[in-house]
């Protein structure tokens, strides 16, 4: 199907789109926290880098990254249309993720990046173990 906008108009429209957080993955992680009695987290904490969750007392920042958007090749899906654009977009996201991780590490925070695919039912046991090791490890 042809785009209803010309290239310049489509670019202008897309530049105005801003993420409001990936609600489904964040809600799945909240449910996992609650089910496993993991407390002390805050969401939407106003700090540069915008982690999805922070544990202030332990100085832990958690990011839930979408596999496609942040370069995890668990599904090996790549769009055939406009492939070069999407490859560059993912590269920029990966670079941004590294920069944000470095900002937090320079503040002596621990950073945990959770892939979207880790929130699938078959992977939850490993994810809970990873979270408990990080959160309970030095209590």
Is pLDDT larger for residue 20 or for residue 30?
30
Q: Kindly report the length of the chain.
A: 139
pLDDT at 76 over 80: no
pLDDT at 106 over 70: yes
Residue 54: what pLDDT?
96
pTM value? Answer: 0.79
Residue 103: what pLDDT?
95
Read off the pLDDT of residues 108-135 as tens digits, 9 standing for 90 and up: 999 999 999 999 999 999 999 999 999 8
Q: What is the CATH number of domain 20-136?
A: 3.40.960.10
Question: Could you state, in order of their start, the residue ranges of all structural domains in the chain?
Answer: 20-136
Are 54 and 104 a contacting pair, CB within 8 Å? no
The DSSP result for 110-125, as a single string, is EEEEEEGGGGSGGGHH
pLDDT at 6 over 60: yes
The token duo for 34 is 């609650």
How many distinct helices (H) and strands (E) make up the chain? 5, 4
């Amino acid at each position: 199907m042809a785009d209803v906008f010309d290239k310049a108009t489509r670019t202008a429209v897309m530049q105005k789109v801003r993420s409001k957080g990936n609600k489904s993955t964040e809600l799945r992680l909240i449910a996992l926290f609650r089910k496993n009695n993991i407390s002390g987290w805050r969401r939407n904490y106003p700090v540069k880098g915008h982690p999805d969750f922070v544990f202030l007392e332990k100085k832990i920042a958690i990011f839930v990254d979408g596999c496609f958007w942040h370069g995890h090749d668990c599904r090996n899906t790549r769009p055939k249309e406009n492939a070069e654009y999407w490859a560059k977009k993912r590269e920029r996201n990966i670079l941004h993720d590294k920069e944000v991780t470095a900002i937090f590490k320079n503040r002596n925070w621990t950073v945990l990046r959770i892939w979207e695919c880790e929130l699938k039912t078959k992977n939850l046991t490993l994810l809970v173990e990873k979270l408990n090791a990080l959160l309970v490890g030095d209590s």
